[in-house]
Amino acid sequence: MLRTCIAIGLLVVASFGTAQSSSAAIVYDSIDSLQGTTFSELNSTNLIFGDSLTLSQPGTLTNFGAAIYNPSHGSGNTGPIQTGTMLVTFYDNTVPYTAGVLSDQDPVLGQVTLTWDFTGIGGLAPGAFQTGTFDLSQFSIHLPKDILVTQQFTQTTGDSIANGTPIFQDPTVGFSPTSVYIKSSDNPEGLYALPAGDNAQFGYKIEVAPAPEPNLAAVVFLGIGAMSWGRNARRRRRCTSHA
């Protein structure tokens, strides 16, 4: 049984041979359609959670959006989150994960640490959440169409005793199944159905740069060069035979 805290979340405002790739494209987005409930556990459970995502197309990761929630209802939490880090791991889920140890089944594509700082707004208050978008283009993480993303938040300053995420509706771009990935001391590693219902997702937004396409001009240039070289070689052979 999935043990979870469900509550209403409050938004806190807080080249040679290749052509240049076209502009980046959003290939998955479930972070812009808030459902109204949340998922969380105590920090002491070492919570890791995430979701299986099918992107509209593969590509190299540029921007990544995620969310963090500081719960109040059901956890006894009264303290804010001031600062923290979020370890995000991208897995190749071409062969869909079903159960067991995720790292034994899905190859890791890349791993990054995101920094969250709420000191400018006095901390992320209990019962509030925040979304953020991070530029990860420097890591050159190539994503296939089917991936699994996990996040693990570690509070560095603040008095909060729990963390989690708001729950969003089905993605407007891409696809995700109704089950989500959870691993903690309260919930053995595996896939779970959220109590919020079928139209319930963890929130992510992924933007990629498509793979560069061959440069036609370079290919044509190479072809002409090869033809010229062939004619010159034949001339050399003819000159040699007449000598």
Each residue of 80-102: pLDDT tens digit?
999 999 999 999 999 999 999 99
Q: What pLDDT shows up at residue 18?
A: 33
What percent of the chain clears pLDDT 70, i.e. is strictly above it?
A: 77
Q: Is the confidence at residue 225, as pLDDT, over 50?
A: no
What does the pLDDT look like over 138-180, one tens digit per residue?
Answer: 999 999 999 999 999 999 999 999 999 999 999 999 999 999 9
- Residue 60 has a CB neighbour count (10 Å cut-off) of 18
The pLDDT tens digits for 172-181 are 999 999 999 9
> Residue 11 above 50 pLDDT?
no
> What is the predicted pLDDT for the residue at 219?
42
Whole-number pLDDT of residue 123? 98
Q: Is the pLDDT of residue 4 over 90?
A: no
Whether this prediction's pTM lies above 0.85 is answered by: no
Residues 14-65: tens digit of each pLDDT? 333 333 345 889 999 999 889 889 999 999 999 999 999 999 999 999 999 9
The DSSP string of 27-90 is EEE-TTSEEEEEEEEEGGG--EEEEEEE-SS-EEEEEEEEEEEE--TTTT----EEEEEEEEEE
